[in-house]
């Protein structure tokens, strides 16, 4: 495939602007994670024939609200009329995906739906994910700095089939959340159920 045919032009000065913004807003570790997710998302986009530049930008910005306080995120939700469900109220670790999507749309004026939705669903996943949503979901978990017990299993599955890697990661998340008595977001369950019902094998 000719990569340039599958690449949206995002000017370098915007990417530089995003990087300096992230440097200000994130801890050093989270900033390095964001750069690594961008690289991993671009690598996967090239292999899977998605838009390389869009995936790079989505990877870069996916955690842009991760280091915001709860108060700042709740303020953003109320400003944009977002009502949280009871499960969401009890799950602050998923808030940064929503606040990040709101922030890039309304503050950074990014109007690309693939970038917005891949950030919106990067923590939970959802039923019937698009290729961009799948790429950011899994790039977040397989970037070069990630170091959790099963990371090599997920990377090996990813070489074979992105859905297999995602379902493995979802199972891990479901086990961990239930072991910790944490609420499971319906989108996490929907993502799992959809892949179980629609994948031939995993
Ligand atoms: O932001 P990162 O750390 O890079 O990764 P992430 O956006 O995937 O966030 C992971 C956190 O989100 C982790 O603490 C587990 C939590 N999480 C994922 N799915 C759910 C969830 N928390 C709740 N309560 N419910 C979910 O369905
Ligand atoms: Fe995140
Ligand atoms: Fe992340």
Cα of 1 from ligand 2 centre, angstroms = 31
What's the pLDDT score for residue 9? 86
What's the pLDDT score for residue 191? 98
What does the pLDDT profile of the chain (202 residues) look like in tens digits? 444 446 778 899 999 999 999 999 999 999 999 999 999 999 999 999 999 999 999 999 999 999 999 999 999 999 999 999 999 999 999 999 999 999 999 999 999 999 999 999 999 999 999 999 999 999 999 999 999 999 999 999 999 999 999 999 999 999 999 999 999 999 999 999 999 999 876 5
Instruction: Identify the residue whose C-alpha is closest to ligand 1 atom 12.
Output: 93
Written as six digits, the tokens of 38 are 């961008």
Instruction: Identify the residue whose C-alpha is closest to ligand 1 atom 7.
Output: 123
Q: 142 CB under 6 A from ligand 1?
A: no
Instruction: Identify the residue whose C-alpha is closest to ligand 1 atom 19.
Output: 124
Written as six digits, the tokens of 146 are 């990630």
DSSP string, 114-180: HHHHHHHTTTT--TT--HHHHHHHHHHHHSTT---TTHHHHHHHHHH-HHHHHHHHHHHHHHHHHHT
State how far the Cα of 49 lies from the Cα of 164, in Å rounded to an integer: 18
Q: 174 CB under 6 A from ligand 1?
A: no
Burial of 141 (0-12, 13-18, 19+ CB in 10 A): buried
Contact by Cβ (8 Å): 95, 70: yes
Written as six digits, the tokens of 94 are 């998923």
| Atom in ligand 1 nearest the alpha carbon of residue 189 | 27
How many alpha carbons fall within 13 Å on the CB side of residue 67?
Answer: 15
What's the pLDDT score for residue 127? 98
Q: 170 CB under 6 A from ligand 1?
A: no
What's the pLDDT score for residue 13? 94
């Amino acid at each position: 495939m000719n990569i340039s045919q599958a690449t949206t032009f995002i000017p370098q000065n915007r990417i530089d602007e995003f990087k300096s913004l992230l440097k200000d807003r994130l801890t050093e570790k989270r900033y390095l994670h964001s750069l690594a997710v961008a690289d991993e998302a671009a690598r996967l986009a090239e292999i899977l024939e998605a838009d390389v530049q869009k995936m790079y930008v989505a990877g870069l910005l996916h955690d842009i609200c991760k280091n915001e306080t709860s108060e700042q995120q709740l303020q953003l939700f109320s400003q944009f009329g977002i009502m949280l469900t009871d499960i969401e109220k009890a799950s602050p670790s998923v808030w940064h995906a929503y606040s990040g999507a709101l922030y890039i749309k309304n503050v950074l004026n990014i109007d690309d739906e693939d970038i917005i939705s891949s950030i919106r669903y990067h923590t939970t996943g959802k039923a019937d994910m698009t290729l961009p949503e799948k790429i950011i979901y899994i790039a977040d978990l397989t970037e070069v700095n990630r170091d959790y017990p099963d990371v090599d299993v997920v990377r090996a599955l990813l070489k074979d089939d992105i859905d297999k890697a995602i379902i493995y990661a979802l199972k891990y998340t479901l086990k961990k959340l239930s072991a910790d008595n944490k609420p499971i977001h319906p989108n996490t369950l929907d993502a799992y159920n959809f892949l179980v019902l629609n994948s031939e094998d995993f």
